[in-house]
């Protein structure tokens, strides 16, 4: 059975080191998703985030090329990310 990721306001949340040391892929994906949801250009978009060996894979469709670039930038700026594969497709609404 899969459980939802922890959230900062529940009792099971543990802070993640900001230097990227000791982070596993799951926590890194939670961090990227959190940052994407707080960024004004990517908030409300449906972006799938997968992390494998610290490589972030972004998939889905976005309404503009600016949103695509912003999502890649947000992922790159997340501590602990080694590389980003931005596979987002642009489909204007």
Could you give the C-alpha distances from 81 to 4, 52, 56, 64, 72, in angstroms and in order? 22, 10, 7, 24, 11
Going residue by residue through the chain, which has 93 residues, state the pLDDT in tens, using 9 for 90 and above: 444 555 555 554 455 555 554 458 999 999 999 999 999 999 888 899 999 989 999 999 999 999 999 999 999 999 999 999 999 999 987
What residue ranges define each of the domains in the chain, with the CATH number in brackets? 25-90 (3.30.1340)
How many Å apart are CA 54 and CA 15, to the nearest integer?
A: 18
> DSSP string of 24-86?
-HHHHHHHHHHHHHHSTTTTT--EEEEEETTEEEEEEEES-HHHHHHHHHHHHTSTT--EEEE
How many Å apart are CA 58 and CA 51, to the nearest integer?
A: 9
pTM for this one?
0.73
């Amino acid at each position: 059975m899969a459980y939802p990721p922890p959230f900062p306001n529940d009792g099971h949340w543990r802070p993640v080191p900001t230097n990227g040391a000791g982070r596993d892929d799951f926590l890194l994906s939670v961090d990227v998703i959190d940052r994407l949801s707080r960024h004004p250009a990517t908030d409300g978009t449906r972006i799938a985030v997968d992390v494998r060996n610290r490589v972030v894979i972004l998939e889905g469709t976005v309404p503009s090329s600016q949103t695509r670039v912003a999502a890649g930038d947000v992922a790159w700026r997340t501590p602990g990310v080694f590389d980003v594969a931005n596979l987002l497709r642009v489909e204007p609404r």
